[in-house]
Structure 1
Amino acid sequence: MAFQIRRAHLAFDRLLSMRLARHGIKSGYYNYLRALWIKDRVTQRDLSDATRVTETTTVALLKGMDDEGLIERVRDSVDKRKILVTLTPLGRSLEPEILPHAAELNEIATRGIDAAEIRTFIKVARKIAANLEKAFGESD
């Protein structure tokens, strides 16, 4: 099971990376952009939680995104300890260009699969992820 999940993930990632490269975007940025398109002006910690990536990795990726003009990071005026992440106009402008790629990949991935099977798969995948996340938390 783990092998097949990893295999699917790698295929999704390769196809998405190819499409993002057309826009000059690194694949590691996609989940952060997507999270910011949903909710902008959030803390780095909020982004780590939303993407389920460690804060150390998030900080490194956000630096690259900042350097490329996709986001801005500013200190919270109320709580100076917090860094708020905001999309730049460039980062925001990529949403209508990039989001269709995700829909396209989902369509490719689900060809020939019945809608009921897809719903079952999503339900099972969520349970698998929750079980693994719980076990990860227990191993700390």
Structure 2
Amino acid sequence: MSALTPNDPNVPKLADFLCFAIYSANLAYGRAYKPILDELGLTYTQYIAIIALSEEDNQSVGGLGEKLFLESNTLTPILKKLESLGYIRRQRDPADERQVRVSLTPAGRKLREKALPMNLVAAAGLGEDFPVMQKAVVRLRSNLLKAARGQPALPAGASVSK
């Protein structure tokens, strides 16, 4: 077996790795969102928590964590901060005291309304391809999660529920 050389055309370059393209796109999104988030006074994870709660109020912390792909030990400090800012309310579920339910406050709803026009769809420069790209990335994420669990991947064109 011969040693690999830096100019070997058979050796994939960093730019050839899909994982790096997604990782670096995530970093670019973070940089692009920074002025928006600074104006709102939020971190990205606080922002997506507000978005998720605006879609479905009175969620359990566990259910919200599943949607956001965050463990409860990561999510809880984020929620405590949002509560201290007056954007959410956390309360024990009267039917099951072990569960904590999370809801937006009126201030949280107002913040979400302020954030509505602040998105980066146009900045992505994808035009009509934006929904196609978004669905492909969701399918990729779903397939990678399935692979981690030893399950088969979804074929191209299949819809993803979670």
TM-score above 0.5: yes
Q: 1:99 to 1:75 in 2, by over 3 A?
A: same
The structure with the larger Rg is 2
Relative contact order: is structure 1 or structure 2 higher (C-alpha 8 Å, sep ≥ 6)? 1
How big is the shift at 1:129?
0.8
Instruction: After TM superposition, give the deviation of residue 120 of structure 1 in Å.
Output: 4.1
For residues 139 and 49 of structure 2, the distance between their equivalents in structure 1, rounded to whole angstroms, comes to: 23
Give how far 1:98 is off: 0.8
Aligned equivalents of 1:30 and 1:114: distance in 2? 24
Match of 1:65 among 70, 82, 97: 82
Q: Quick one: distance in 2 between partners of 1:114 and 1:63?
A: 37
- Percent identity between the two aligned chains: 29
Which residue does the alignment assign to 2:35?
18
**Higher helix content, 1 or 2:** 1
Helix, strand or coil: the match of 1:132?
A: helix
1:133 Cα deviation after fit: 1.1
Partner of 1:48: 65
1:27 to 22, 26, 44: 44
Residue 24 of structure 2 is aligned to residue 7 of structure 1:
yes
Letter of the 1:127 partner, please give it.
R
Deviation at 1:17, TM superposition (A): 2.3
Give the deviation of 1:118 after TM superposition: 3.9
Q: What TM-score, normalized by structure 2, do the two folds share? A: 0.75
- Give RMSD over aligned pairs: 1.7
Aligned residues: 133
Do residues 99 (structure 1) and 155 (structure 2) align?
A: no
**Unaligned stretches of 5+ residues in structure 1:** none
Q: Decide which of 90, 95, 104 is 1:87's aligned counterpart.
A: 104
How does the TM-score come out when normalised to structure 1?
0.85
Q: Does 1:130 align with 2:147?
A: no
